[in-house]
A and B are shown apart, each in its own frame.
Chain A
Amino acid sequence: MTLLEAAAALRRSETSSAELTAAALERIERLNPSTNAMQTVMAEAARERAKQADQELARHEGRGPLHGIPIAVKDLFLTQGVRTTGGSRLFENYVPDHDAAVVELLRAGGAVLIGKTGMHELAYGITSSNPHFGAIRNPWDRDRIPGGSSGGSGAAVAAGMVSMAMGSDTGGSIRIPATFCGVVGLKPTYGRVSRYGAMPLGFSLDHMGPLTRSVRDAGAVLNVIAGYDSRDETSSRRPVENYVPDLEPSLHGLRIGLPENFYFERLDPDVDAAVRAAFQAAESRGAEIVPLRVPDIAAINTVARLILMAEASALLEPHLEHRDRFGADVVALLDQGRLLPATDYINAQRLRRAMQGEFAELWSRVDCLFTPTAPITAPRIGETTVTVGAENEDVRLAATRLVRAINALGLPAVSIPFGADRRGLPIGLQIVGQPFAEALILRVAQALVPEEVPVPPL
């Protein structure tokens, strides 16, 4: 059941928040041992909150579509009185005294916070094979990674533990688990959703967004969490809008960019075929397909990697006196960041500005771009390289290759499931829009995936 379907059932008194919460807890109890998606389960607090929500709904004091719905948040969102680890031993005993802005808004919207999802250590990686809290497993194939860093959120939503889990995305960390787990993952425009109270990784690259079982659910959540927050220096004052698309939106008059360079180079053939089919589907719904060349995405990826390394290392360097508290992959990235000169960081931010200008020109020709979210489907746990086409590629670099640049550009992007590979593993389509075009990309996504995402065989 999607979030909005559950909300409608609540309004019709066909179910209660207490029943929804009990069902979610039962599913977590049954499936978490084999997926490790949830790091912390707040069963008692959730039951109590659900009871309150039912009382409020009975008094017709509804707070919107999230009221009474069980949800989860990635374990880097601060939660008052509830341990927040960031997937790290550094913070294994950290209990915040306040909520992150996103958590405040979700609670104010009446959501029932049922737990915290597991993640890649410090959000600095894409496997979610966490050395401290255990590997998170993909519900579609538990020998495979769910992607990351919001891997627990992707796995929890795919497994139906919750209909929505919040994630964060610094170099693809919402969209990669969305594609590997076969769910919807929305990375809004930089500044659209407050970063306040979310443990940072890369200050200028971090984005917060939902993973859901339908496109309309992602819009409903964005309606709640979007907006200006004075506590986040980069928060936008641009007015919010209704982000929930119609059930069957039209694509007539929309121009969809088909990249002729970069994005369709070095793909798994199944991914290539599935994403090309998305263009045909959009065209059949009235969209115009516009082939075009995109700016140098490899260069933007390089710039984004350098910025992230410098920002993450600046942030975490004080903790590096205790190297044994980090996983090997994370400490290796942090060491690299410490060796970069300040001039490179500044020049990367200058290049970012120039690339933003080059990319902005695209939006006079198209309304959005279609690309694969990842060139591959979910790799096996422990794999460090994958073969894509004729080449071996580092798993992290392959998984981030088609998504990382979008963080540097701050653009909104949504990943939706679109087909499966020969093994039945989900494939993701990435839809990228111009700044603050969340409503448009969700409308396009809804036209292509109007139903709830498929459920893995569990």
Chain B
Amino acid sequence: MNNDRTNVCSTVCTKDWKKIARASGLSIPAAALDRIAQSLDALEADFRPLARALPPDTEPAIVFHAATLTAGEDAE
């Protein structure tokens, strides 16, 4: 998964979770947000570099079947 895109941005921006919650219309108490902010910051720090390194042609591991499967067809 390592490619040139890794170097586009090497910093992880700190997010303001209270503002995000407010903008999303989520009714999460301020004290609860204070308690989870550190966990979210840690997840953000771990996840953002991985997401930035994704090759563009990688499709998500989610499958949608346009038609219901019939006997003999395989979902795999």
Q: B24 near A339 (CB under 8 angstroms)?
A: yes
A contact residues, total (Cβ < 8 Å): 34
B74 at the interface (CB under 8 A from A): yes
Pick the residue among B40, B55, B58, B74 that contacts A336 (CB under 8 A): B40
If A204-B62, A351-B51, A353-B59 touch, whether A339 touches B75 (CB-CB below 8 Å) is: no
A-chain residues with CB within 8 Å of residue B62 when the two chains form the complex: 204, 346, 349
A305 and B46 alpha carbons, distance in the complex (Å): 11
A347 at the interface (CB under 8 A from B): yes
A-chain residues with CB within 8 Å of residue B43 when the two chains form the complex: 302, 305-306, 309, 336
A26 at the interface (CB under 8 A from B): no
B-chain residues with CB within 8 Å of residue A238 when the two chains form the complex: 76
Q: A353 near B58 (CB under 8 angstroms)?
A: yes
A349 and B50 alpha carbons, distance in the complex (Å): 12
Chain A 274-314 against B: per-residue CB contact (8 Å), 1 yes, 0 no?
Answer: 00000000000000000000000011001101100100000
Q: B36 near A336 (CB under 8 angstroms)?
A: yes
A339 and B36 alpha carbons, distance in the complex (Å): 10
CB distance from A27 to the nearest CB of B (A): 40
Q: A237 near B75 (CB under 8 angstroms)?
A: yes
Q: B36 near A338 (CB under 8 angstroms)?
A: no
Pick the residue among B21, B33, B60, B65 that contacts A233 (CB under 8 A): B65
Q: A236 near B46 (CB under 8 angstroms)?
A: no
B11 at the interface (CB under 8 A from A): no
Chain A 347-359 against B: per-residue CB contact (8 Å), 1 yes, 0 no?
Answer: 1111111101010
CB distance from B8 to the nearest CB of A (A): 14
B20 at the interface (CB under 8 A from A): yes
CB distance from B45 to the nearest CB of A (A): 10
A302 and B53 alpha carbons, distance in the complex (Å): 14
A230 at the interface (CB under 8 A from B): yes
A-chain residues with CB within 8 Å of residue B60 when the two chains form the complex: 346-347, 349-350, 352-353
Pick the residue among A230, A237, A351, A358 that contacts B74 (CB under 8 A): A237
Residue of A nearest to B51 (CB): A347
A390 at the interface (CB under 8 A from B): no
Q: A350 near B54 (CB under 8 angstroms)?
A: yes
A-chain residues with CB within 8 Å of residue B76 when the two chains form the complex: 191, 236-238
B-chain residues with CB within 8 Å of residue A358 when the two chains form the complex: 1
B contact residues, total (Cβ < 8 Å): 31
Q: A302 near B32 (CB under 8 angstroms)?
A: no
CB distance from A398 to the nearest CB of B (A): 14
CB distance from A119 to the nearest CB of B (A): 23
Chain A 314-333 against B: per-residue CB contact (8 Å), 1 yes, 0 no?
Answer: 00000000000000000110
Q: A332 near B32 (CB under 8 angstroms)?
A: yes
A354 and B51 alpha carbons, distance in the complex (Å): 11
Q: B50 near A302 (CB under 8 angstroms)?
A: yes
B66 at the interface (CB under 8 A from A): no
A-chain residues with CB within 8 Å of residue B1 when the two chains form the complex: 351, 354, 358
Pick the residue among A303, A348, A354 that contacts B55 (CB under 8 A): A354
A52 at the interface (CB under 8 A from B): no
Residue of A nearest to B56 (CB): A350
Residue of B nearest to A341 (CB): B20
A-chain residues with CB within 8 Å of residue B51 when the two chains form the complex: 344, 347-348, 351
CB distance from A204 to the nearest CB of B (A): 7
Q: B58 near A354 (CB under 8 angstroms)?
A: yes
B28 at the interface (CB under 8 A from A): yes
Q: A234 near B75 (CB under 8 angstroms)?
A: yes
Pick the residue among A204, A299, A331, A338 that contacts B50 (CB under 8 A): A299
B9 at the interface (CB under 8 A from A): no
> Can you name 12 extra interface pairs (CB under 8 A) apart from A344-B51, A352-B60?
A234-B75, A235-B75, A299-B50, A302-B47, A336-B39, A338-B21, A346-B60, A351-B51, A352-B61, A353-B61, A354-B1, A354-B55
7 A-B residue contacts at CB 8 Å? Answer: A233-B75, A302-B43, A335-B36, A339-B40, A346-B62, A350-B61, A354-B55
Which B residues have a C-beta under 8 Å from some C-beta of A? 1, 17, 20-21, 24, 26, 28, 32-33, 35-36, 39-40, 43, 46-47, 50-51, 54-55, 58-62, 65, 69, 73-76
